[in-house]
Structure 1
C-alpha cells in the first residue's frame, strides 16, 4: 500500500479496535479487491484471535509460527510437520478449521499422524468430527473414517466413536439420506416436481445436510437438471433452499441461478459465481434490500469498492446515513456497533467517486471531518 493508505488503515484499526482477525477480514478483502495488501509492520494476524483472515495471509502466519515469532494458534494451518507444535486446545481448534476447509485433508491427517499418537490425542481429534452448526451428528463421509477406530485399544476412544456412529441411525450414505426424504418429492406426468408441505420428520435437517441434489435425483430416477428446471420456486425455501444448490452439475446450478434471479428471489451464496453476466446486476440489486451489513459486500466479492453513487443510494443502509449523523450529534456518542454503521457499510462497496460523495454528504449533515466514523471512507479514497 502507498504510505497514505497505510496511515488510513491504521486509523481504521484504531477506530475499530479489532480484537480478532475476523474484525479485519472485510477491510483486508476490500483492500485486496483494489490490489493491495497490508504491510506487515501495520498488521499481521493476531495469535490471540481466530483463523478468519484472507487466505493470502496464510503463508505469513505459518512462517511466523514455524520460525518461533508467534505461538501456534488455530489460525496456523495444521500439517503433519507442525502437528506437535500446538497445545492440545489450539490443535483441536486448528483441526476443526481443517475439517471445515478440507475434510479429506483432515481425514488423511487423522489417519496418518493422529493414529500414531496416544489415546488422548486420538480422542481429542475424533471429538472434533461432527456436522458443526448444521445439526447434531456426523456426515456420511465421516462414517468410514470413524469406523477405522472401532477397534481402537482405548475404551474411551471406542466409546466416543460408537456414540458418533449411532447418531446416523444406520443411514451412512448420501443415498440413504436421500431415500429417507424421497417420498416428499413427486414427479408429475409432465415432469413437474411437487414437494409435500414442510417435512414432518424430526431429523429433516440432518437428512438434507447429509445428502445432495444428485443423490436425490438418482433415487427419484431423474436428473439434477430436471429437478432444478421443474421445482416450483414457491417451494424454494427452508431445507429445499439449502439442498437444491448442492449439485455437481454446473449447468444445473446455472439454470437454478437463472430461474431465481429472473423471479427476483434471493440467490444462495453458493450460486453467486454461476449467475449469468446479463443477470448479475439484477441479482446485485436484490441484495440492496438486506438488513445485514455484509450482504452487498459478500455478493460483490473481488468487485468490492466498484459501485457508483447511483447504486450506493439504492442500498437500504444509505437511508440511515444522515439520521445516524444526527443521532450522534444529539447523543454525543459514537455508534457502539461499528459493523452496522452505514458509513462503514457504504465505504466497503463504493467506488472512489461514490465514497467521496458519501463523505461530503455526511459532513454536510454535521459530522466533523476528523470524526473516526469517516476512517473507512478515507481508506477507500486512499487506495
Structure 2
C-alpha cells in the first residue's frame, strides 16, 4: 500500500502527460453587440430551449430575444458555424465555432469596413453581416464588392450573398444582375438573379409559355352600373392541365403574366377573383413574392387580407415590413378565427400585440383551458405562440387571466409568457 501511494504521488507530481497532438489556443468567445439575458432569467431560457426541441421554436426564441435587445448566454446555447437560421447578432459566435472546428490556428479577425481587398480578412458569418450593413448604408459599394468577389464562392454562398441585394434593390443593380442571370454556372443562382430582375420590371418578355398561362384565365366584366373587370380561372378538366398550369406559373414572372392578360400588374391584383381557385391563388401569390415589386407585395397582402385568406398572408410576410406584418396579424386575429400559431407566422417574432386574449381565438382558448376534461399538455403550442406575439404589458395581463382561469403560476406552458413579461424591452420597436 505504501508503494502504491508513493507511485501515485510520483505520477501526479513528477510525470507530465504529453498531448497526442499540438494544442491549439482558441480565442476567447467574443462579446456580442447585445447583452446576454439577465442571470435571473437564464433558467427560464434554458427550460424553453430544453423543452422545445423543434428547430423553428428555438429560432423563434432567439429572434424574440434579439428583437427585445438580448442574446442567450453561451453556456445555454451556441450556434454552429453553418447555422444560417441564427440571428445576425450571433455572427461572431458562428465564426468562433468555425475557428474551433478548423484544423488551423485562428486566422482572420477584423473590424474594418468590408471591401473587395479585405474580403478574406472576414470569417463568413461576419462577412455576411458586414455586407448587409454596407448594403443598407451604401448600396452601390456593396454591389461593387459582390461584383469583385462573388465568383470566388461556391454556389450556396453565392446564392445567399446575392439574395442580400433585395435590400435597397434599384436600377443601378441591373447590369450586375443581368450578368449573373446570363453567366452564372449554378441554375439556382441564375434563377435568383432572374427573379430580382423581374422585381425591377426587367422580366422576360411575354412569350409562348406566358401566353399559354394566360389562356388558363379569363378577364371578364362584371356589374351593370360599375363595370369592373374580374380575372377568373378557367375550370381545369384533367390533372395534366393542373400540372401544366403549375409548371407555367413556376417559369413566369408577374409583370409578363399581367401583360399577357392585357392588364397592368396593379390591375391584375385588384381584379383577381380570390378564393375561387385556391391553387391559382397560391400560385399567383408565390409569383408576386418571387418577382413582384415591394409595392405589389403590399397591395397583394392588403387584397388577400380583405378576402379572408390569412394563409396567403403568411406566404407574403417575409417581404413585408415588420409594422405591416403586425398590422395584418392583428387584423386577421380580430376579424377571423385563426390560431395564435398562424398569427405568429404572419407577425414574426417582433410583434407587440396588446391583448390577443380578448379576440375570439383568445376567448376560445380560455374556455378550453377551463373545461373539466382539460389536460396539462393541452394547447402548449398556442400558449407558446401567444408569448411570442404579445407585448410585455400584454404578457403580464395574459398571465393574470390565464392563472385566473386555473393554470398554475409554474405551468411550463406559460414559460414564454413569463419570459416576455419579465424581460426589459430594449429592442427596437417595429
TM-score exceeds 0.5: yes
Contact 2:387 2:417 in 1 (8 A): yes
Q: Which residue pairs with 1:214 in the alignment?
A: 255
Is 1:27 paired with 2:61?
yes
Match among 151, 175, 181 for residue 213 of structure 2: 181
Contact 2:329 2:346 in 1 (8 A): no
Alignment of 1:35-74 (within 5 A): 35-46=69-80, 51-62=84-95, 64-66=96-98, 68-70=99-101
Judging changes above 3 Å, is the alpha-carbon distance between structure 1 residues 15 and 71 closer, same or farther for their aligned structure 2 residues? farther
Q: Which residue pairs with 1:269 in the alignment?
A: 314
Distance 1:362 1:279 in 2: 25
Is 1:11 paired with 2:47?
yes
Alignment of 1:1-150 (within 5 A): 1-16=37-52, 18=53, 20=55, 22-46=56-80, 51-62=84-95, 64-66=96-98, 68-70=99-101, 112-113=152-153, 144=182
Q: Which residue pairs with 2:410 in the alignment?
A: 370
What CA deviation, in whole Å up to 9, does each residue of 1:300-344 have, x standing for no partner? 23543433255466345555434599413xxxxx56xx9x53332
Is 1:258 paired with 2:299?
no
Contact 1:33 1:304 in 2 (8 A): no
Task: Give 1:214 shift.
Answer: 0.9
Task: Give 1:299 shift.
Answer: 2.0
What CA deviation, in whole Å up to 9, does each residue of 1:11-52 have, x standing for no partner? 322333x475x34111122223323222334322246x9533
Alignment of 1:146-157 (within 5 A): none
Q: Counterpart of 1:306 in 2: which secondary structure?
A: coil
The TM-score with structure 2 as length reference comes to 0.55
Q: Counterpart of 1:348 in 2: which secondary structure?
A: helix
Judging changes above 3 Å, is the alpha-carbon distance between structure 1 residues 281 and 235 closer, same or farther for their aligned structure 2 residues? same
Q: Which residue pairs with 1:192 in the alignment?
A: 230
Distance 1:350 1:277 in 2: 11
What CA deviation, in whole Å up to 9, does each residue of 1:213-236 have, x standing for no partner? 212023233311121121222436
Distance 2:352 2:120 in 1: 39
Distance 1:149 1:9 in 2: 41
Contact 2:258 2:268 in 1 (8 A): yes
Is 1:205 paired with 2:205?
no
Structure 1, unaligned runs of 5 or more: 73-79, 86-104, 115-121, 126-140, 151-171, 329-333
Distance 2:89 2:372 in 1: 35
Task: Give 1:143 shift.
Answer: 8.3
Task: Specify the structure having the higher radius of gyration (Cα).
Answer: 2
Cα RMSD after superposing both structures: 4.6
